[in-house]
Structure 1
Amino acid sequence: MRLPTTLRLAVLGLLGAWLVLASTASSDATYVRSTTNTATVRAAADWTPPALALAQPATPVQGTLTLTASATDAESGLASVVFQYLAPGSSSWTTACTTTTAPYACAWDTRAGADGGYDLRARAVNGAGYTTVSDVVSTTVANNVLVVLANPGEVVRGTVSLKTSVYNGGALPWLVTVQYTTSGGSSWKTLCSGLSAPFTCSWPTTAFSNDSFDLRAVATAGPTSSISAVVGDVLVDNAAPTVTMVDPGSPLSGTTTFTATASDAGAGVQQVVLQYAPSGGGYQTLCTLTADPYSCRYATTALADGSYAFRAVATDVAGNTATSSAVTGRVVDNTVSSVSLDDPGAFLSGRATITAQASSTSGIASVRIQYAVGGTTSWTDLCTATATPYACTWDTTTVPNGSYDLRAVLTDGRGATSTSAVVSGRKVDNSRLRAVDVQTANGDGTAGHVDAGDTLTLTYGDVVAPGSITAGWTGTALPVTVRLRDGNLLGGTSKTDAIDVLRNGAAVQLGSVGLREDYVKGRKTAQLNATMTATTVTVDGVDRTVVTITLGTLASGGGLRTVTTPSTMLWTPSTAAQSPSGGACAATPATESGAADREF
């Protein structure tokens, strides 16, 4: 008979206590102290959060609005559904009402707050305490005369249509003026004036500099006037990106790497398409790339032998495109042997898999994979493969830490050899102290948006001396500043935004975290107050340091965006962090574990 979980735990606890007492009683060692901890562990009956969806209300609304949600929980049942709103200009959610029984609906008196655009959400809690937050829906509250200028988007180009709405204006003959100023400015200039219903204005952005602007609308009827909320940080970007196709060389055979470089000083690069064209033919797509480096591997065996041209087409977030100069006269010839080594990555540790690609019209006798100390010519065989896959496992703990070069040597059916290009400067680092994981967690803010209460957690593979991260630190709660910078400021793209941590204006020795998505608007920097703590956890018998940064209020800057696309963060640690014995942290980056998700 299998005992219930709680009873088995209780029996084990009593047995453990008896063993401790028994060992103490039979020992002749001097008694120092004893500690007794009692814990009760119960298995949860429900591990599944409830299902929840908030109904989209009409817009505009006035007076009392009934908010409704569909919510279910098949296990422990629903304890409550809370309806919340985010008022215009506010950064914190306010509870409108709470209901505990179906149908889940409540009345929200919109007259208690200011007119304007509101975000709405619902929070459902089940009997086991698990919470689900619904997707955000939006509406406009207009209990009085309200002027609303529709947001044209974060990035605009060409001629943009700006639409103004006047709510509760009655039969008065309203006229609308649309105004602009540089982002954060106070000197408003007229863009369109004397607009009558339907109050539409055409904005020729090509006559403006590529910069960020604030917009607003002013509605006037006789002596009465009303001003809309400001639509801020609208980036005008009419400049095409720059793009260059890298010469792939000639002749080309086997699996070849094709690369382009692209940049955009405005909205950032959205995608780069690499293309090829046979002599006298039209261009076709090799690959479509959305992140730097703009590079892909392509099997040229899919192409007929002959002369080809290659080019790259870049498109920025605003929709501007640019086409590189063509690299012409490059010959594809797969009638000869070819071999290439796949790049195993910049950092290697433990048992690393090294692979090569090879082809030959006369057959393949073997492929040898070799390594040499960086910059030398003394090559050592790692393995010899006579059939695909041409790969071997390199136990990097058998060589000293340092820089190494790698290559592959093909011997074809005729006995002739071909040597691949060298993959150079790959760093072997088997330092015990290294970065192992990076995670974020949403506090109580908007999913995909950086808010107070959100956390950033950095996990090392061993214990770190807190004082090596920042002088004098013991791991207790320490006020710091978290800086988020748009990728364009760092020489990357809009999807290479990065986080680093500062203390008294100087970076602490944690390294940096690449968000790999666009959390900060173009060319913006945001700094938030934060608290940093370090704790020691034991995983599989190994003590590890976990650094947790809890975000607070916005300290300076701004331009934070709400991201809807999942991504996977990359933490590049600082080698200045040390173990208590003085061992330096490996420079090997750590990729966020688990499925790709929205950060924060």
Structure 2
Amino acid sequence: MNAAALRTTVLVVLAAVVLIAGTPLGPALSSAAFTAKTTNSASTVGAAADWTPPTVAVQPSAGALRDTATITAIASDAVSGIRNVVISVQAVGATTWTTLCTATASPYSCTWNTRAVSDGSYDVRAVATDNAGYPATSAAVRVTVANTIGVELSDPGDTVRGSVSLTTSLQNAGTATPAVVVEYAAAGSGVWKTACSTSTASYTCSWGTGTVKDDFYDLRATATANGVTTASALITDVLVDNGAPTATMTDPGSPLRGTVTLAATAADAASGIARVAIQFSANGGSTWQEACTVTAPPYSCRFSTVALAGGSYHFRAVATDAAGNSGTSGSVGPRTIDNTVASVAMEDPGAFLVGTATLTATANSTAGVAGVTLQVAPNGTNTWTTVCAPAASPFSCAWNTKSVADGLYDFRAVLTDSTGKQTTSATVTARRVDNRAVRGVDVQTANGGAIAGRLDAGDTMTFTYSTRMSTAALSAGWNGSSMPVTLRLRDGNTAGLGLGNAGDTVDVLLPGTTTPVNLGSVNLKGDYVKNNKTSSFTATMTATTATAGGLPVTVVQITVGTLISGGALRTVATASAAAMVWTPSSAATDLGGAASSNAPVTETAALDREY
């Protein structure tokens, strides 16, 4: 082959290579970087100077993006250089990329108005194209857009008074310092007024509750930044109580000897009485000492005067409500304490006596106590019968109430000192002995709901009678099968109850009515619902026959359903556990028609959080 033919062949091959590179199959990529050109008299064929794609990467963000954010890519090409970089974004899970910008010079950056999109997660990528026309796509970088501020108001508690510190927590505030306003509205009204405001980073301000009337209020906090206002969740039914309770000291009488009863009355129109302290002061001085503190009505206690020096004393009562306000009664005195002579007091055995009751007396004599006789008589008579005569303290004994007929009885104690002198106590009158077979035996609750110590769906209350009962007498036409009822929970301060904060009461009604089922009521001896509130639940009632002591008895169970009205429920802590008391209805009868005793029944077994 001559030289001319050889040149022609080379040119044809090179032309074919160039033709292939320009087809839909190309351009092909290579790591080679060279320049070649062949020329003859008819044509010129050249090879590309850059077959290598550029490198490109998106710089990750330092945190969540908000407002106008800058997105930057790094791109390079060592041979032909970068023509442009296209930066795009798409929501996570989407399939379409949206171009933010096309940058032609380093730094390859875009500004992104993140307020034009929803808060959430997004992927960002960059596509760089070099001057030879070769593109390269970066790995996607995950970013978070977060423009909304989270606002949370701390709960100041169920009851507040005076100047109340309110703290607001902000999430996602960024570098902004929002204006925070805490607002209040009469409960359920939605009419908001400013309680206090702050722009200081701790976001704590004080609400002077003395400017509003004592009542229930809803609270919320708002934060305003960049022209956008965000509100917190509501804190509902916060009771403002700045009013002091009233207290009246009952005159204990004079002279006072041995163990005496100290009593007071107290009332509070808002949060209710939390405790009453009964105090005494010697000789009318300004130093007061506490005789006792009582947390539930009646506000009274037994107080031994024996350890006090004889002389003149004044007495007063200090009532404190649930908000912490206190009110002091007028002083009662002077009253004389004189234990230089014999004194004896009969303790109250209780309003209802069943089975074996404990009788107790206290006695003191400067001459020495030879013995104390405990006596009982039918109410209103002077026919006294000696129950026991203990010679030494404790002056106490067990009395079998079944040895007498059911009815009202009076009790007293007679002290005999070492010289033979006798002193008779005041009489405790009209205490009922009730040993009828038809009565309540026990009441129990069990938690079946979501929160222990709080009345909610799934909880149960079980009533046990001493014998088989007529279910039709408990509710007309009822045969003991599952029956819809309404369980009503009332605060102990509710009008008509007067049992105080720890006297919340449950009873059972026919659905949609105020007609009670003939079970009676249960004093839960705890604070399960906010002050003066009433809550109602759907419920079902069933009756079954069980065996107790080898004999058949009726057991009635109430299963709590959903809340249908009220609310404002509380959760009672284990430390607040107390034995609840069931007062049965005398409208309930056994199968023979005998009426149930309405003697109160105290919950048995270990104390627990009801429900």
> Is the 1:265–1:488 contact (alpha carbons within 8 Å) kept by the matching residues of 2?
no
Q: State the partner residue of 2:76.
A: none
The match for 2:537 among 528, 544, 554 is 528
Residue 585 of structure 1 aligns to a residue in which SS?
A: coil
Shift of 1:200: 2.6
* Partner Cα separation in structure 1 for residue 532 and residue 304 of structure 2: 38
Within a 5 Å distance, the mapping from 1:358-397 to structure 2 comes to 358-397=363-402
291-300 vs 455-464, which deviates more? 291-300
Shift of 1:440: 1.1
AA aligned opposite 1:588: A
Question: Residues 466 and 247 (structure 1 numbering): CA distance in 2 closer, same or farther, change over 3 Å?
Answer: same
Cα displacement string for residues 154-207 of structure 1 (whole angstroms, at most 9, x for unaligned residues): 100001111122211223442222221111112222333564533333211111
Q: State the partner residue of 1:151.
A: 155
The match for 1:518 among 527, 543, 549 is 527
* Partner Cα separation in structure 2 for residue 172 and residue 257 of structure 1: 64
Shift of 1:540: 2.3
Question: Residues 439 and 143 (structure 1 numbering): CA distance in 2 closer, same or farther, change over 3 Å?
Answer: farther
AA aligned opposite 1:554: L
321-330 vs 354-363, which deviates more? 354-363
* Partner Cα separation in structure 2 for residue 413 and residue 196 of structure 1: 78
Q: State the partner residue of 1:243.
A: 247
* Partner Cα separation in structure 2 for residue 193 and residue 330 of structure 1: 54
1:599 corresponds to 2:610: yes
Residue 244 of structure 2 aligns to a residue in which SS?
A: coil
Residue 508 of structure 1 aligns to a residue in which SS?
A: strand
* Partner Cα separation in structure 2 for residue 164 and residue 545 of structure 1: 55
* Partner Cα separation in structure 2 for residue 550 and residue 465 of structure 1: 20
AA aligned opposite 1:240: A
Residue 500 of structure 2 aligns to a residue in which SS?
A: coil
> Is the 1:180–1:191 contact (alpha carbons within 8 Å) kept by the matching residues of 2?
yes
AA aligned opposite 2:506: I
Structure 1 unaligned spans of 5+: 1-61, 63-113, 116-141
AA aligned opposite 1:570: V
Shift of 1:574: 1.1
> Is the 1:213–1:234 contact (alpha carbons within 8 Å) kept by the matching residues of 2?
yes
Q: State the partner residue of 1:31.
A: none
1:252 corresponds to 2:256: yes
Residue 511 of structure 1 aligns to a residue in which SS?
A: strand
> Is the 2:344–2:424 contact (alpha carbons within 8 Å) kept by the matching residues of 1?
yes
AA aligned opposite 1:452: A
Question: If the length of structure 2 is used for normalisation, what is the TM-score?
Answer: 0.72
Cα displacement string for residues 450-492 of structure 1 (whole angstroms, at most 9, x for unaligned residues): 1101111111121111111111111110100000011111223
Question: Residues 553 and 383 (structure 1 numbering): CA distance in 2 closer, same or farther, change over 3 Å?
Answer: same
The match for 1:492 among 494, 499, 512 is 499
Shift of 1:273: 1.6
186-195 vs 354-363, which deviates more? 186-195
* Partner Cα separation in structure 2 for residue 173 and residue 351 of structure 1: 72
Cα displacement string for residues 284-337 of structure 1 (whole angstroms, at most 9, x for unaligned residues): 121222222222222211111111111121211111111111111111111111
Within a 5 Å distance, the mapping from 1:36-115 to structure 2 comes to none
* Partner Cα separation in structure 1 for residue 428 and residue 244 of structure 2: 34
Q: State the partner residue of 1:587.
A: 598
Q: State the partner residue of 1:120.
A: none
Cα displacement string for residues 508-547 of structure 1 (whole angstroms, at most 9, x for unaligned residues): 1111111111110111110000001111111220111111
AA aligned opposite 1:227: A
* Partner Cα separation in structure 1 for residue 600 and residue 498 of structure 2: 19
* Partner Cα separation in structure 2 for residue 143 and residue 150 of structure 1: 23
Residue 229 of structure 1 aligns to a residue in which SS?
A: coil
Question: Residues 184 and 415 (structure 1 numbering): CA distance in 2 closer, same or farther, change over 3 Å?
Answer: same
Cα displacement string for residues 60-94 of structure 1 (whole angstroms, at most 9, x for unaligned residues): xx9xxxxxxxxxxxxxxxxxxxxxxxxxxxxxxxx
AA aligned opposite 1:301: V
1:285 corresponds to 2:290: yes
Q: State the partner residue of 1:448.
A: 453
AA aligned opposite 1:581: G
Question: Residues 219 and 345 (structure 1 numbering): CA distance in 2 closer, same or farther, change over 3 Å?
Answer: same
Q: State the partner residue of 1:409.
A: 414
1:474 corresponds to 2:483: no
> Is the 1:438–1:590 contact (alpha carbons within 8 Å) kept by the matching residues of 2?
yes
Shift of 1:411: 2.8
> Is the 1:195–1:201 contact (alpha carbons within 8 Å) kept by the matching residues of 2?
no
Question: Residues 143 and 479 (structure 1 numbering): CA distance in 2 closer, same or farther, change over 3 Å?
Answer: farther
> Is the 1:441–1:454 contact (alpha carbons within 8 Å) kept by the matching residues of 2?
yes
Pairs aligned (count): 462
AA aligned opposite 2:238: V
Cα displacement string for residues 390-418 of structure 1 (whole angstroms, at most 9, x for unaligned residues): 33332222222111111122233333322
* Partner Cα separation in structure 2 for residue 444 and residue 575 of structure 1: 31
Within a 5 Å distance, the mapping from 1:321-340 to structure 2 comes to 321-340=326-345
* Partner Cα separation in structure 1 for residue 524 and residue 431 of structure 2: 24
AA aligned opposite 1:539: A
> Is the 1:264–1:493 contact (alpha carbons within 8 Å) kept by the matching residues of 2?
no
Q: State the partner residue of 1:200.
A: 204
Shift of 1:230: 0.5
* Partner Cα separation in structure 2 for residue 285 and residue 385 of structure 1: 32
Q: State the partner residue of 1:210.
A: 214
Shift of 1:422: 1.0
Question: Residues 180 and 580 (structure 1 numbering): CA distance in 2 closer, same or farther, change over 3 Å?
Answer: same
Q: State the partner residue of 1:187.
A: 191
Residue 467 of structure 1 aligns to a residue in which SS?
A: helix
Question: If the length of structure 1 is used for normalisation, what is the TM-score?
Answer: 0.74
Q: State the partner residue of 2:278.
A: 274
> Is the 1:212–1:233 contact (alpha carbons within 8 Å) kept by the matching residues of 2?
yes
Larger radius of gyration: 2
Residue 400 of structure 1 aligns to a residue in which SS?
A: coil
Residue 397 of structure 1 aligns to a residue in which SS?
A: helix
Structure 2 unaligned spans of 5+: 1-63, 65-118, 121-145
AA aligned opposite 1:332: I
Shift of 1:572: 1.1
Q: State the partner residue of 1:139.
A: none
* Partner Cα separation in structure 2 for residue 211 and residue 479 of structure 1: 35
* Partner Cα separation in structure 2 for residue 190 and residue 335 of structure 1: 65
* Partner Cα separation in structure 2 for residue 390 and residue 568 of structure 1: 27
* Partner Cα separation in structure 2 for residue 225 and residue 382 of structure 1: 78
Question: Residues 467 and 143 (structure 1 numbering): CA distance in 2 closer, same or farther, change over 3 Å?
Answer: farther
* Partner Cα separation in structure 1 for residue 240 and residue 194 of structure 2: 17
> Is the 2:504–2:529 contact (alpha carbons within 8 Å) kept by the matching residues of 1?
yes
Q: State the partner residue of 2:143.
A: none
Shift of 1:562: 1.3
Residue 493 of structure 2 aligns to a residue in which SS?
A: helix
> Is the 1:148–1:217 contact (alpha carbons within 8 Å) kept by the matching residues of 2?
yes
Cα displacement string for residues 7-61 of structure 1 (whole angstroms, at most 9, x for unaligned residues): xxxxxxxxxxxxxxxxxxxxxxxxxxxxxxxxxxxxxxxxxxxxxxxxxxxxxxx
> Is the 1:445–1:454 contact (alpha carbons within 8 Å) kept by the matching residues of 2?
no
Identity %: 53
